C-alpha cells in the first residue's frame, strides 16, 4: 500500500465516522503519515486523564473522539519504496463520566464539538482516575523474537505485555477495531442488525480490502495472536471423516 493510499484512507475514515471523530490533525510529511506538531518528546504513555489532556494541549493526535478520547495514527515509509518501516496506532480513552458521550453522538457532526476546548473540562478530567488505552506498534528494526514481535499490541491493563499481531491495520481497520471494542453500543447502532450481524457485509469487505502487505512469520503458527483481516491468506484444511473398518 502506497503512502498516499494511507492518507486517502484517513480522509475516508473521517467521512465514514463524521458523527464520532472530530478535530482532524493528520498530515503527510515527506515519507511519513503523522499529525500536525508531531513531537516524539511529547509522546508520553498516559497514566491519568491529565496526561491525555497534556497530549491534547500539545496537539499530539490524529483525531479526537466526541467524548474527548484521542487517536494517534503514524506510518513511516522507506525513502524510495512503498515499504512500511514503522507504525504506531494508539487510542487513549477518556472516562465516559467526564463527557456526555450519548448526548454528543446525537449531533449531526462531531466536527461541531470541542470537548476539550476549555479549561473547566480539562480540570474535570484531571480529577478522574487512571486512563485506559491500547496501542499497536510495528517496528521490525527493534523486534526480538516471540515476546517482542515486529508487530504487537499493548493494552493498559497489562502494560508490559506484547500481544503478537499478524498485520498492520490501515486507518479504517484501526478505527473500526476501536469503535467495536471501546464503543459497542455506538458500533451496534452504526453497523449491526437486530441479530448482531453486519447490516452491510459488503461495507466491511471494503474496509478490509485495502491492506498493508505483511510478511508471514513462523511465530504466527506457534503462539496465539491477533490477525488483521485481509493481510494474510487463511488456509483451512477440509475435515475428513475417518471410519473404522471391521
* 238 in any annotated domain: no
Assign 107 a pLDDT band (cuts: 50, 70, 90).
very low
* 240 in any annotated domain: no
Is there a contact between 161 and 121 (Cβ–Cβ < 8 Å)? no
Cα angle vertex 175, ends 155, 46, to 5°?
A: 35
Tens-digit pLDDT profile for residues 42-89? 888 888 888 888 899 999 999 999 888 999 999 999 998 999 999 999
pLDDT for res 240: 44
Assess whether pLDDT exceeds 50 at residue 239.
no
138: containing domain? 3-227
* The most confident of 89-98, 99-108, 152-161, by mean pLDDT: 152-161
* 243 in any annotated domain: no
* 111 in any annotated domain: yes
- Report, as an integer, the average pLDDT of 98-104: 44
Tens-digit pLDDT profile for residues 169-223? 999 999 999 999 999 999 999 999 999 999 999 988 889 888 888 778 888 999 9
* 49 in any annotated domain: yes
**CA pair distance 38, 46, nearest whole angstrom:** 17
End-to-end CA distance of the chain: 57
Q: What is the mean pLDDT of the chain?
A: 83
* 239 in any annotated domain: no
Phi, psi of 33 (to 5 degrees): -95, 120
Of 33-47, 85-99, 123-137, 144-158, the range with the lowest mean pLDDT is 123-137
pLDDT for res 126: 53
pTM: 0.82
* 184 in any annotated domain: yes
* 235 in any annotated domain: no
Task: Report how many domains make up the chain.
Answer: 1
Assess whether pLDDT exceeds 60 at residue 39.
yes
- Report, as an integer, the average pLDDT of 125-150: 83
Amino acid at each position: 500500500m502506497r503512502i498516499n493510499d494511507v492518507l486517502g484512507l484517513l480522509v475516508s475514515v473521517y467521512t465514514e465516522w463524521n458523527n464520532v471523530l472530530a478535530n482532524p490533525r493528520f498530515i503527510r510529511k515527506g515519507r511519513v503519515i503523522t499529525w500536525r506538531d508531531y513531537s516524539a518528546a511529547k509522546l508520553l504513555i498516559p497514566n491519568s486523564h491529565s496526561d491525555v489532556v497534556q497530549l491534547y494541549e500539545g496537539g499530539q493526535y490524529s483525531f479526537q473522539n466526541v467524548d474527548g478520547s484521542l487517536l494517534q495514527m503514524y506510518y513511516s515509509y522507506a525513502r524510495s519504496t512503498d515499504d512500511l518501516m514503522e507504525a504506531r496506532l494508539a487510542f487513549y480513552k477518556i472516562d465516559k463520566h467526564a463527557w456526555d458521550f450519548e448526548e454528543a453522538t446525537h449531533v449531526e457532526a462531531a466536527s461541531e464539538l470541542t470537548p476539550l476546548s476549555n479549561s473547566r473540562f480539562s480540570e474535570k478530567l484531571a480529577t478522574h482516575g487512571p486512563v485506559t488505552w491500547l496501542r499497536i506498534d510495528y517496528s521490525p528494526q527493534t523486534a526480538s523474537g516471540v515476546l517482542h514481535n515486529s508487530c504487537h499490541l499493548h493494552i493498559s491493563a497489562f502494560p508490559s505485555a506484547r500481544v503478537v499481531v499478524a498485520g498492520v491495520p490501515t486507518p479504517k481497520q484501526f478505527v473500526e477495531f476501536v469503535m467495536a471494542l471501546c464503543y459497542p453500543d455506538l458500533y451496534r447502532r452504526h453497523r449491526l442488525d437486530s441479530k448482531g450481524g453486519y447490516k452491510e457485509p459488503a461495507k466491511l469487505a471494503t474496509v478490509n480490502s485495502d491492506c498493508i502487505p505483511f510478511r508471514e512469520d513462523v511465530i504466527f503458527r506457534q503462539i496465539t495472536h491477533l490477525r488483521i483481516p485481509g493481510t494474510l491468506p487463511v488456509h483451512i484444511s477440509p475435515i475428513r471423516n475417518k471410519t473404522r473398518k471391521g
